Amino acid sequence: MWSGVVQSRSRIFLTFALFCVLPLLLLSGVNLLVNVRSGETLVRNELEHELAATTQSFETLLRERKQEIRNLAASSALQTCMLWADHPPITPAASRPSGNSTGNPASQPADNEMQEAKSAIASLLRGPNSYRAIAAFAPSRQAIFVAEAPPTKTGDIIFLTRDLLVEQIQPEKVVWTAPEDEVLCSIVATAAAGKTLRCTTPVSFSEAGTTRGALVADLRLDSVISSAARPLESSVAENKNTSRRSTVVLVVDDQDEIVYHTNAALTHQHAQSSMPYLRAIGAEMVAGHSGTNSFKAADGDQWLVTYSPLMGNQLSLAVARNYSLASHDARRYGWIGIMLALLVGSIAAVVLTQYSQRRTKSIDQVAAGVDEIVKGKLDHRIELLSSDALRPLADNVGLVTKQLREQIAREAESRQFQSFVRLSAVLTHDLKNAIEALSLIVNNMEKHYEKEEFRVDAMQSLTIATDKLRALVARLSNPVNTLSGEHKRPRPVDLVPILKRVIAMTAEPARSQHELAVKLPEALVALVDGDRVDKVIENLIINGLEAMAAKRGKLTVAAGETDAGKPYFSVTDTGEGMSERFIAERLFHPFATTKRKGVGLGLYTCREVVSANGGTIEVESEQGAGTTFRVVLPSAQSKGGE
């Protein structure tokens, strides 16, 4: 009946919403779709235009650089220097200067020409046209000089004429047979500057062109591309409301290396590894294909990219636009329209539904009653008239809440019983340890009772054991809040006397069955609850002795300070050990034990006590070799220094 009323109410509202909201939503959705698609077409057209403009700009810059190289190669000063370097003129004896002359007329013209050539080369290297180095080769194909641009604008041009490395800069091999005005350009990799645009042109010394040298110019490829892309990048303004980049210019070579990227941090990296989201498009670019495609960047933005080859197939140029950013306004206004349509239609549907709603007070009363019950008021009753159609529903809700109250009461009793069981298990474990200590003392009394010193120690141990039994009885009438018990305020305690006392009570009586090694300093002060730490030491030593019950073994109790200056003590046995799985999944959990007889609360209590005192407990175990428990506690000195 409840579902029928709800369905009826929903059906009325959905009917009005169908006629009020749906038409407006359809119109708004179509408007959004048309705006987005028209925006995508516009962005694609703009990308194609920008790619063509950038390509034309690069080709124009390349033609200008080629012409500058031709002009330098055609200069008489450079040709004279190159020819003279390969065939220095020989001055006849009759024309040699007299003994009082100090100059060499034959070398004077070459020096003047060299200075003029250097001046022309320096103007190119210092200019803004991306030249990195210029070299000249004589007709004998030997390098005459190499001029390198300064690292800074104010630095000096570096002219090298001797000790030139063969691999430093080399002309194209076909330059010696190429046409006179031909400028051969290729992309080469250099150790100093990465990918470099190297242009080589012949330098002819005769009209027939049979005697020729070569001029080589290295240009910074990224600088040339940056100059070509600068008009595009400067015309695109960054979005004022976001730091996301809107347009990116990318150039890769045929080795998939990024030669230029608007984000300079990605330059000289492999596109496949640095931009995995561009893997498919990058493969198309490396293969020399052209086209327009889309991809999703690492930040989730959708990008459109147009690409085409550059310099044959040596490079590939791509211009990408952040389509998510470009279509942001269109999408925003479209969604605003959809939300307004939804709002207006919903308001109209609600108003019309209000006119058709009748007899809804019972539903509201039931809903209010259910809300009260959900808030925890299980005694709340939903009162409806006997003639009300929702009276059966209200009665059923009351029946369910009654059953729920009974279930909660049963669960509370069950939790109380579980708490009692757990407390009993803790007390049983402590009682077992006390009985174990008494048993060891009694066994040794049969063997060493005639010794006066032993009787004194035995009486002290019996006194301590009986005190612990009295404390257990007291705990039965004063339940604890946690399994680890109530803890006193930590104070500086010397652990050495406690260790010695517990060893005397538990380990010393077992010397006849096991070897005992004790390594204790003179004093070891920690900031702890001494009574509780006494219980931890006792549990660990008894566990170690029980682990070696099947055969004679060695128990080692050691103490000292860690590298950080914190006090610690450890208990090592040579028992059966524990598996890695048991340590990872069950160790330090309540009721977890590897012994046939045992409650499994000793190590759990140890961990709780150590944690409450601000310390840590560590374990190292190997099956068949033994186990080491190491307890690290806060240092009293460090606490006082704070």
In 3D space, the residue among 549, 590, 593, 545 whose CA is nearest the CA of residue 572 turns out to be: 545
Q: What is the spatial distance between Cα 83 and Cα 79, in angstroms, rounded to a whole number?
A: 6
Let me know: does 307 contact 280? Beta carbons within 8 Å: no
> Which tens digits make up the pLDDT trace of 579-597?
888 888 888 877 666 665 5
Query: Of 70-74, 86-90, 517-521, where does mean pLDDT reach its minimum?
Result: 86-90
pTM above 0.75, yes or no: no
Question: Strands 258-261 and 291-296, how do they pair?
Answer: unpaired
> Which tens digits make up the pLDDT trace of 469-493?
776 666 555 554 444 445 578 899 9
Q: What is the spatial distance between Cα 303 and Cα 293, in angstroms, rounded to a whole number?
A: 9
Higher pLDDT pick, 340 / 409? 340
> Which tens digits make up the pLDDT trace of 519-553?
999 999 999 988 888 889 988 998 888 888 878 89
Q: What is the spatial distance between Cα 633 and Cα 411, in angstroms, rounded to a whole number?
A: 39
Highest mean predicted confidence (pLDDT) among 200-209, 240-249, 256-265 = 256-265
> Which tens digits make up the pLDDT trace of 360-413?
666 666 777 777 777 777 677 776 666 566 667 777 777 778 777 777 866 766
Half-sphere exposure of 432 (CA within 13 A, CB side): 16
In the three-class reduction of DSSP (H, G, I as helix; E, B as strand; rest coil), residue 403 is classed as helix
Q: What is the spatial distance between Cα 494 and Cα 507, in angstroms, rounded to a whole number?
A: 20
Structure-block tokens of residue 414: 């069950």
In the three-class reduction of DSSP (H, G, I as helix; E, B as strand; rest coil), residue 622 is classed as strand
Sequence-ordered list of residues with C-beta below 8 angstroms from that of 543, at least 6 positions apart, any chain: 571, 573, 602, 603, 629
> Which tens digits make up the pLDDT trace of 291-308?
999 888 888 888 899 999
Let me know: does 505 contact 465? Beta carbons within 8 Å: yes
Per-residue HEC secondary structure of 418-476 comes to HHHHHHHHHHHHHHHHHHHHHHHHHHHHHHHCCCHHHHHHHHHHHHHHHHHHHHHHHHH
Query: Position of tokens 């989201």?
Result: 277
Sequence-ordered list of residues with C-beta below 8 angstroms from that of 7, at least 6 positions apart, any chain: none
CA angle, 524 then 526 then 528, to 5°: 140
Q: What is the spatial distance between Cα 533 and Cα 495, in angstroms, rounded to a whole number?
A: 9
Following CA atoms 545, 551, 552, 554 in sequence, which dihedral angle do they give, to the nearest 10 degrees? -50
Q: What is the spatial distance between Cα 327 and Cα 36, in angstroms, rounded to a whole number?
A: 7
Query: Position of tokens 């048993």?
Result: 439
pLDDT (0 to 100) of residue 407: 78
